[in-house]
């Protein structure tokens, strides 16, 4: 049984003060949540403050990006080792990183491995652009992104000089989350349909089964993201293939985000 996840990607929004206010608004309700893993991903500068507010609660914290080197002369970057003291998850390969900041498949792969090597759980984002979808290339693009990102993750490089092997595929499945986020659906108000998302997510699971391991792929949580709201979340989580959502804009609204979490728990709970 895969435990559903609802993750909020705040992107480059909220000052520290605003982040604290938003968590305050959510905290009482968040603390009563059972039946789903909830992850808040505020900007780097708010991780400490939000982390302190979440202490003692079951709500998890995530970062939105990470560099792939542990320490060194990389002005302005944040290392996986630094994040490992602050949070449990990290979003990797978000399309905004791929398209605005040049994160290639190779870079995304390095980031996934660096995150895993530092005990961070990557939320790996994949998804096709509009022109790729219109050219019928969705599966080709997804196949490339997933196989590239997961390449060699069983041989995780812990530092520049030492290498160790994750002991079991099950461990990989427990520490990795994939989010299917079609680029044309992100921030546009034009979400994919539940059927479209479920079909692509099933495809992602098949690709993962060939890249990592069949059993590991079965336990891997795969989310949908892209214009998820309280009004459409039910359409996605009603599909057994979809294990939750990565929510952008709607995660900045306390009442709406709570509703997305509640609906996910109710629907997933009733289809067990």
Active site residues: 94, 181
Minimum distance from CB of 226 to ligand PGA (Å)?
A: 5
Q: Are the C-beta atoms of 146 and 93 separated by less than 8 Å? A: no
- 211 forms part of the interface with ligand PGA (CB under 6 A): no
Nearer residue to ligand PGA within complex by CB, 156 or 177: 177
Nearest residue to ligand PGA, using CB? 248
d(CA 217, CA 29): 32
Nearer residue to ligand PGA within complex by CB, 244 or 249: 249
Phi and psi at residue 141, to the nearest 5°: -65, -45
Nearer residue to ligand PGA within complex by CB, 80 or 248: 248
Helix axes 47-54, 16-30, angle to 10 degrees: 20
Q: Pick from 183, 228, 230, 237: which binds ligand PGA (CB under 6 A)?
A: 228
Minimum distance from CB of 123 to ligand PGA (Å)?
A: 9
Paired residues of 62 in beta bridges = 89
Q: Pick from 120, 197, 247, 258: which binds ligand PGA (CB under 6 A)?
A: 247
Residue with tokens 């299917």: 180
d(CA 32, CA 52): 18
Residues with Cβ within 8 Å of residue 166, at least 6 apart in sequence? 116, 153, 154, 156, 172
Phi and psi at residue 222, to the nearest 5°: -125, 125
- 222 forms part of the interface with ligand PGA (CB under 6 A): no
d(CA 152, CA 155): 5
d(CA 118, CA 79): 9
Q: Pick from 14, 64, 65, 227: which binds ligand PGA (CB under 6 A)?
A: 227
- 14 forms part of the interface with ligand PGA (CB under 6 A): no
d(CA 156, CA 143): 21
- 226 forms part of the interface with ligand PGA (CB under 6 A): yes
Q: Are the C-beta atoms of 41 and 8 separated by less than 8 Å? A: yes
Minimum distance from CB of 134 to ligand PGA (Å)?
A: 19
List the x/- string, 165-204, binding to ligand PGA by CB under 6 A.
----------------x----xx-----------------
- 9 forms part of the interface with ligand PGA (CB under 6 A): yes
Minimum distance from CB of 89 to ligand PGA (Å)?
A: 13
Site residues for ligand PGA per CB under 6 A = 9, 181, 186-187, 225-228, 246-250
């Amino acid at each position: 049984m895969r435990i559903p996840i609802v993750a909020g990607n705040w992107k480059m929004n909220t000052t520290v003060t605003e982040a604290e206010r938003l968590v305050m608004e959510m905290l009482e309700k968040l603390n009563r949540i059972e039946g789903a893993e909830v992850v808040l991903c505020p900007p780097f500068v708010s991780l400490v403050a939000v982390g302190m507010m979440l202490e003692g609660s079951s709500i998890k914290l995530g970062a939105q990006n990470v560099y792939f080197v542990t320490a060194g002369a990389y002005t302005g970057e944040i290392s996986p080792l630094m994040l490992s003291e602050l949070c449990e998850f990290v979003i990797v390969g978000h399309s905004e990183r791929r398209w605005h900041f040049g994160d290639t498949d190779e870079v995304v792969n390095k980031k996934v491995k660096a995150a895993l090597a530092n005990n961070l759980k990557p939320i790996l984002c994949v998804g096709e652009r509009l022109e790729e979808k219109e050219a019928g290339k969705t599966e080709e693009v997804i196949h490339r992104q997933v196989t590239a990102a997961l390449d060699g993750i069983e041989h995780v490089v812990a530092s520049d000089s030492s290498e160790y092997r994750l002991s079991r595929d099950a461990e990989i499945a427990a520490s990795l989350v994939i989010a299917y986020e079609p680029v044309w659906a992100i921030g546009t108000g034009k979400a994919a349909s539940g059927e479209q998302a479920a079909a692509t997510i099933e495809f992602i699971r098949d690709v993962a089964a060939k890249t990592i391991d069949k059993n590991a792929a079965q336990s891997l949580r795969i989310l949908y993201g892209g214009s998820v709201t309280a009004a459409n979340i039910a359409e996605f989580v009603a599909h057994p293939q979809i294990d939750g959502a990565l929510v952008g804009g709607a995660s900045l609204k306390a009442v709406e985000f709570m509703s997305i979490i509640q609906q996910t728990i109710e629907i997933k709970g009733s289809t067990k």
